[in-house]
Amino acid sequence: MKVSRTEIPDVVIVEPAVHRDDRGFFVETFHEPRYRGEGIAGPFVQDNQSRSTLGTLRGLHAQRRPQAKLVRAVRGEVYDVAVDVRRGSATFSRFVATILSEENFRQLYVPAGFCHGFAVLSDVAEIEYKCTDIYRPEEEIAVRWNDPQLAIPWPVEDPILSHRDRNAPLLAELEPL
């Protein structure tokens, strides 16, 4: 597996080894000792999957409780983003973005204290992600996807958004984590 450190040291891009032959492929999508050795610590206690259509933008979401995520696309392609919302952090309000797809098998490790979101670039995309804490609706926070302070260059002009995401607060309005 290849691990790439990003400009935000806690955010990591993982490219698992993919073994292809005439039958298809085999890939280890998680191997606890190897991932832990790269700073991707669990334990992971919940797995989630979502399906979205072209132009959908989900995010930016986080939990007030410390919750890290290991995200991958199992179908289609997404522009995936992690935003540091830890007040006092040297990288506060900065983001890392990468393309996750069923073709590149890439994974994004989103540490605790980061918001996560993605925009769908293919007709349909399915995302799976592991979480280090159980989802609790009362602990969820959101930051507006097009917050000018973040200046994320989303590759969709008029995204399909949930009511909650469309009306999420700006980062400056968010209570500190």
- Cite the active site residues: 61, 129
By C-alpha distance, which of 78, 70, 118 is closest to 102?
A: 78
User: Would you state the structure tokens that stand for residue 15, as one six-digit string?
Assistant: 């490219």
Chain position carrying tokens 């990591």: 12
What H or E segment, with its residue span, contains residue 28?
none
Alpha helix segments (H runs only) across 38-74: none
Give the 3-state secondary structure of residue 14. strand
> What are the beta bridge partners of residue 107?
14, 72
Q: 34 φ, ψ to 5°?
A: -65, -45
Q: Which two tokens stand for residue 45?
A: 């206690």
CB atoms within 10 A of CB 66: 12
